[in-house]
Amino acid sequence: MISRVIDFVKVSPTQNMTVLVRTEHPEEEYPDIARRMMAYEHVHAEQVGFVRKPESSDVDVGLRMAGGEFCGNACMALAALNAFEAGLETGDSLDVVLAASGTTACVRCRVAKRRHDYGCRLAMPVPTAVEDGARAGGVGAGSAFVRYDSSLYVVIETSRLDRSTMEEAQTLARRLGESRDVSAVGVMLYSAESNRLIPLVHVPSVGSMVWERGCGSGTASLGAYLAWKNATSVTTTVIQPGGTMGVTVSYERGGPMGIEVEGSVRIVAEGRAYL
């Protein structure tokens, strides 16, 4: 029996498959809708965001993630969709301003139309703190807790990107999700030798634990960690399972002060889902 009909668009920001729900639903239904749509036997995605009408003339569009978290890739996905619907032509660019869950500040994304996809450059929220992982949570050397208003990302430097390490990361994400009042926990496994990032994101209210193909917020957190660790501004590209993402961090007054991430976005499908 069909209980809900949902209009959606499926978008691929660096293969971090994202479903954007366009129909309006009560917020308390968001986690259930997301769980069901993310499932392999349904639309199948790594995350679900809900498009909202702007509440201010300074904002082009609103986005709320299923768990109320902030998501950089979902912001880029929605910005690209907004540019597509505005009729942006190849070679042109457009600034899109979003009101996004997980941050009180508006988020600006520069979208450039390319031949087969969109290039996006997103101004990210700045962490409230970057702390040594061994002191903040007993994680060990070569790690850091990158804290935001409503989420926590842990960056762990390791040359072992194997199954055992990934299982330990899942255990850590679950523990932090249970013990901390956060909307999302990310555990970023980073190999400095190969400049590879393997991102894990856990959203406790949705019950999701996803090894993502690409992670914008994780890329930003890694950039903040590298700036904090080296006490200098950072510009680098990071290799992830779904492709590469760029990050630029300005370092001032003893910490990261401005962060931008870059990635590619493809709009891959739209239609109706039945729950």
pLDDT at residue 137 is higher than 70: no
Partners of 146 in the β-ladder: 130, 153
Which one, of 28, 16, 124, 150, lies nearest residue 74 by Cα?
A: 16
One-letter amino acid at 87 equals: G
What does the pLDDT look like over 138-183, one tens digit per residue? Answer: 677 789 999 999 999 999 999 888 889 999 999 999 999 999 999 9
Q: What is the dihedral of CA 54, 78, 235, 237, to 10 degrees?
A: 170
- Cα distance between residue 95 and residue 80, in whole Å: 10
Sequential DSSP letters for 12-70: EETT--EEEE-S---GGGHHHHHHHHHSTTTT--SEEEEEE--SSTT-SEEEEETTS--
- Cα distance between residue 238 and residue 214, in whole Å: 10
Q: What is the mean pLDDT of the chain?
A: 95
Which CATH number does the domain 5-121+265-274 belong to among 3.10.310.10, 1.25.40.10, 3.40.50.1360, 3.40.50.10320?
3.10.310.10
What does the pLDDT look like over 16-48, one tens digit per residue? Answer: 999 999 999 999 999 999 999 999 999 999 999
5-121+265-274 and 129-262 in the same fold: yes
Q: Are 243 and 14 in contact (CB under 8 A)?
A: yes
- Cα distance between residue 200 and residue 218, in whole Å: 9
Mean pLDDT to the nearest integer, 175-200:
95
Domain ranges of the chain: 5-121+265-274, 129-262
For 145-161, give one letter per residue: b (16+ CB within 10 A) or e: bbbbebbbbbbbbbeee
Show the DSSP H helices in 116-275 as ranges: 133-137, 163-179, 216-230
Percent of the chain exceeding pLDDT 70 equals: 99
Q: How long, in residues, is the chain?
A: 275
The gap between the terminal CA atoms of the chain, to the nearest Å, is 8
Partners of 44 in the β-ladder: none
Predicted TM-score (pTM) of the model is: 0.94
Mean pLDDT to the nearest integer, 1-7:
83
Res 1: pLDDT: 58
Mean pLDDT to the nearest integer, 93-99:
98
What does the pLDDT look like over 213-266, one tens digit per residue? Answer: 999 999 999 999 999 999 999 999 999 999 999 999 999 888 888 999 999 999
| CATH architecture under which domain 129-262 falls | Roll (3.10)
